[in-house]
Structures are given as structure tokens and as C-alpha cells.
Structure 1
Amino acid sequence: MAFENVKALIKSGLPDAHVEVNDMTGTADHLDIMIVSDQFKGKMLIAQHQMVMDLLKESLKAEIHAVQLKTMDFATAEKRGIQLK
């Protein structure tokens, strides 16, 4: 699955999201995904990850083998000094 498709899937459910997708193994099926969205505000980490996994579940069945998620809101990203590309 193309990284742009993964980004589009996530943005379909989290329209304000900044999404970065990286290939962890060179096979394009093990992805490291960082999502920054204010829709995560006030939610526990597991709830944030569940929101993303719900958006990706169909792709995970067929095209993506594994994902590593980093989720946070924009204020947290700024506090951590994360530069959004």
C-alpha cells in the first residue's frame, strides 16, 4: 500500500491530522506512523491508537503486516519539540 493511501485513510477519519509514514523494513508492509491531531486531546494513549487502528483495519488484513504508532495532539508535539514536516 502506498504511503499516500495510508495518509489518506487516516485523514479521512482525522481531518486535522498531520501524518508521517515511514517504512521500517524496506518492504512497505511494516510501517512507523506518527499522527498529530487535536482529536486526541484528553484521550488516553490506548484510545488514540484504537482510533487509528479502526481507520486502518481493512488495510491491515491485506496489505500492512505491522504498524508502530506515535500519536499526540499538536500542543504535545510542540512541547516535545517535534518538527512537523
Structure 2
Amino acid sequence: MDSSRIQAMIEQGLPGAQVEVSGADGVHFEATVVASQFAGKLPLARHRLVYATLGEQMGGAIHALALTTRTPEEVAARR
């Protein structure tokens, strides 16, 4: 598994999301996902949305995924 494949899977599952994924060892990854679909959702629900885009890869080819999830409005407020 590589970062670009994970990024593509998340982008496909969350249309319009801005996704950045890193991870050099092929099993441990970090992702920042900015998506309007996160609006009104608690962090756990946001993470579940992302995990759902990865399906069976979570816990298999992807051993660990550290997530940062934000809405576009949250990103704009930090600027």
C-alpha cells in the first residue's frame, strides 16, 4: 500500500475532499482530510467516514492511520 493509493481511495469515497497522505514504511500512515461532509460531526464520526472509504484495507494493508479531519470552514478559521 502506498500514500497515493490511500489518497485516491479517500478522495473517491469523499467527493470534493482535499486529502494529504504521508507514510514511508508502507503500513503506517498519516492523513489530513478536509471535507464538507464532516460538518456537524464529532471526531469519531469523521474518522469512521474516512475508514469507510478504505474498507478492508484498514487493519490489513494499512496497519495504522493517524487522522486529522477538518471542514473547509474550520481550515478557513485557522488562517
Same fold, TM-score > 0.5, yes or no: yes
State the superposition RMSD in angstroms: 1.2
Distance 2:70 2:3 in 1: 20
Q: How many pairs were matched up?
A: 79
TM-score, scaled relative to structure 2: 0.90
**What is the CA-CA distance between 1:3 and the residue it aligns to?**
1.4
Q: Which runs of 4+ in 1 moved over 6 A?
A: none
**What is the CA-CA distance between 1:12 and the residue it aligns to?**
1.4
Structure 2 gap segments, 5+ residues each: none
Structure 1 gap segments, 5+ residues each: none
TM-score, scaled relative to structure 1: 0.84
Q: What letter is aligned with 1:50? A: R
In the alignment, which residue of structure 1 is the partner of 2:32? Answer: 34
Q: What is the identity percentage for the equivalent residue pairs of Structure 1 and Structure 2?
A: 34
- SS of the residue corresponding to residue 54 of structure 1 reads helix
- Choose which of 44, 51, 57 in structure 1 pairs with 2:42: 44
**What is the CA-CA distance between 1:11 and the residue it aligns to?**
1.2
Distance 1:4 1:27 in 2: 13
In the alignment, which residue of structure 1 is the partner of 2:64? Answer: 66
